[in-house]
Amino acid sequence: MSEPIIIVGGGPVGATLALLLAQRGVAVTVLEARQQGAAYGEGRALALSHGSRRILEKLGVWNKLAPHATAIHTIHVSQKGSIGRSKLYASDYMQEALGYVLSYGALSEALALALTEKPTVNFIFEAIAEAITHSGSQASVSYSQAGETYTITSPLVVLADGGRSLDALFGLARETKEYGHDALISKVRAELPHHNIAYERFTPNGPMALLPNGERDFSLVWTGKKEYITPLLALSDAEFLTQFHQQFGDRVGRFLSVEKRMAFPLKLSQLKATDTPHLVVIGNAAQTMHPVAGQGFNVGLRDAESLAQLVVASSATALGTASMLDAYRASRKNDTKGGLFFTDFLVNIFSNDVVGASGLRSVGLGLFDIIKPIKQHLVSKMSFGK
C-alpha cells in the first residue's frame, strides 16, 4: 500500500479506527492535538452498547476495560409528574447487559496502550491539523507541532476531530439544529445502591440520565435550557443535591455528594453534503447527537468499523476514490439517520411541556411497557444500533 492513511483526531473514534486498521496490517498516521495522556483523567461517562463492547473485544481492549466498566442490567424510563414508567431488563432479551458505563479517560488510556504495541501506527501527539486540501489522487494535511509546520499526504484522510476544529473545510456542509439546551454533567453518590439500573427521566425542563458508574456512584447528565442549567452550576453542593433530588425523586434515596459540575451546549448536527475527494468524516465530526439515549459514541464506533472493513477490501488504487467514499457513506446512512432520528424523537416527545401532552406521554409510557415489539426494537437499537 502507498502512504499511510492519515487520521486527524486520536479521540476514542479515531483511535479505534487506527487499531482496527493496524490489526489488519494497514499503516496509519494519527495526528492528535492533545499531549500524550491528557485525556486519561477525563471522568465524563460514555454509555457503551453491547455491540460496541464486541468491537472492543475483537481489538483485545475490552479485557483491560472490563474492571472499569459498570454493566447496565436495567433501564428505567420515567416522566416527572406522571405515573407511567417503563423498565427494560437485560435478562428479558437474553443479554448479559443492556450496555456499559465507562469513563472517557479509561477508554482513551486503554486504546492508547494498545496502539503503542502496533508498529504500523505512527501516533503523533501535540500535532494540530490546520488545513486539509486535495489534488489529484491525494489529500494533504498541514499540521503544526512545536512551532513548526508540516505537510503530509495520503490517498485517504479521515477526519475524526469530534467536529471541534476543522468544521469549515471546503466541500463539507452540515445541517445543525441547536436545541437551545445545555447538558450539565457530573458524578453523584446516592444513599442506596444502584443495582446496575440506569435511569432516564423526562422532565418539563428536559431529559436527565443517571447512569450507574462504579460501586456506588452515578454519572449524571441533566439537560435543560441554558438559563435553567447555568444557575445550577453556581449552587453549593448541598443546594444542588436538594434541587436534583426534587427533580429526580426518591428512587435511590437522598443524594450524598456531587463532584465537579460542568455544562455544554447540545445540538444535533449531521453532514449534509461532502464534496471532498480523498476525505472521509467519522464519529462526532460526522454526527453529533443529544446524549439522551447514549447513542453518539456507539454510532461513531460503528463508523470506524465500517470504514476499516471497506479499506481492507479496497485495492491500493481504489483507496479514497469517489466510488469508495460513496460506498462508505451508503453503508452508514441508515444507522446514522436512525440514531439521529431516535434521539431527536425522544427529546421532542418527552420534553415539550404542551398542555395535554403530558397525559398522552404518560399513557405512552404505560403502553410501551406492555407492547413487547416496541421494547424489543428499543433494546436492539440501544444495543446494536441496527
Ligand X SMILES: Cc1cc2nc3c(=O)[nH]c(=O)nc-3n(C[C@H](O)[C@H](O)[C@H](O)COP(=O)(O)OP(=O)(O)OC[C@H]3O[C@@H](n4cnc5c(N)ncnc54)[C@H](O)[C@@H]3O)c2cc1C
Give dist(CA 210, CA 79) in Å, integer: 14
Q: Which is nearer to ligand X, 129 or 241 (CB)?
A: 129
Q: Which is nearer to ligand X, 164 or 386 (CB)?
A: 164
* Residue in 11, 10, 14 with CA at minimum distance from that of residue 280: 14
The minimum distance between CB 246 and ligand X, in angstroms, equals 22
Q: Does 339 bind ligand X (CB under 6 A)?
A: no
Q: Which is nearer to ligand X, 188 or 285 (CB)?
A: 285
Here's the x/- map for ligand X, 71-100, by CB under 6 A: it reads as ------------------------------
Q: Taking the chain, what is the end-to-end CA distance rounded to the nearest angstrom?
A: 32
Q: Which is nearer to ligand X, 271 or 364 (CB)?
A: 271
Buried b (16+ CB within 10 A) or exposed e, 94-130: eeebbbbbbbbbbbbbbbbebbeebeebbbebebbbe
The minimum distance between CB 65 and ligand X, in angstroms, equals 14
Name the one residue in this structure whose C-alpha cell is 501527539.
125
Q: Does 161 bind ligand X (CB under 6 A)?
A: yes
Residue type, 323: S
336: buried, middle or exposed (CB in 10 Å: 19+, 13-18, 0-12)? Answer: buried
What cell does 345 get? 424523537
Q: Does 8 bind ligand X (CB under 6 A)?
A: yes
- Interface pick for ligand X out of 206, 224, 277, 294 (rule CB under 6 A): 294
CB 289: neighbour CB atoms within 10 A?
27
Q: Does 31 bind ligand X (CB under 6 A)?
A: yes
- Interface pick for ligand X out of 17, 69, 158, 221 (rule CB under 6 A): 221
Per CB under 6 A, which of residues 163..182 are in contact with ligand X? 164-166
Here's the x/- map for ligand X, 32-71, by CB under 6 A: it reads as xxx----------xxx------------------------
Q: Does 11 bind ligand X (CB under 6 A)?
A: yes
175 touches 139 (CB < 8 A): no
- Interaxial angle between packed helices 322-351 and 296-313, expressed in degrees from 0 to 180 and rounded to the nearest 10: 170
Give dist(CA 251, CA 208) in Å, integer: 14
- Interface pick for ligand X out of 5, 7, 14, 134 (rule CB under 6 A): 14
Per CB under 6 A, which of residues 131..160 are in contact with ligand X? 160
Binding residues for ligand X (CB under 6 A): 8-14, 31-34, 45-47, 128-129, 160-162, 164-166, 183, 185, 221, 264, 283-285, 291, 294, 296-298, 300
